[in-house]
């Protein structure tokens, strides 16, 4: 059973990224990442540890890009 979206992010080239928390009957809770590219959807479900590691990697990458910008 899904809850409402946590966030919708507009991405380059008309793509959208949706973040949704998903609670399963077993008690497991995952973060669902859905990427919409036109009529194509890619869906990933991440546990907290994976989401944290991915998030930190993206923050590090974005910070490095900001340093390199003129």
Look up residue 51 and give its two tokens.
């989401």
pLDDT reported for residue 70: 62
**Answer CATH for 2-68 from 3.15.10, 2.30.110, 3.10.450, 3.40.50:** 3.10.450
14 exposure class (CB count in 10 Å sphere: 0-12, 13-18, 19+): exposed
What Å distances lie between residue 55 and 11, 12, 27, CA to CA? 16, 19, 23
Task: Identify the bridge partners of residue 21 per DSSP, sorted by sequence position.
Answer: 31
What pTM was computed for the model?
Answer: 0.83
pLDDT reported for residue 68: 66
Q: Are 32 and 21 in contact (CB under 8 A)?
A: yes
Query: Could you say which DSSP state residue 28 is in?
Result: -
- Digits of tens for pLDDT over the chain (70 positions)? 557 789 999 999 999 999 999 999 999 999 999 999 999 999 999 999 999 999 999 999 999 998 766 6
């Amino acid at each position: 059973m899904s809850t409402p979206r946590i966030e919708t992010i507009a991405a380059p080239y008309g793509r959208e990224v949706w973040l949704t928390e998903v609670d399963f009957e077993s008690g497991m809770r995952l973060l669902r990442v859905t990427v919409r590219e036109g009529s194509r959807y890619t869906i990933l479900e991440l546990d907290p540890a994976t989401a944290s590691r991915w998030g930190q990697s993206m923050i590090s990458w974005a910070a490095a890009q900001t340093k390199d910008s003129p």
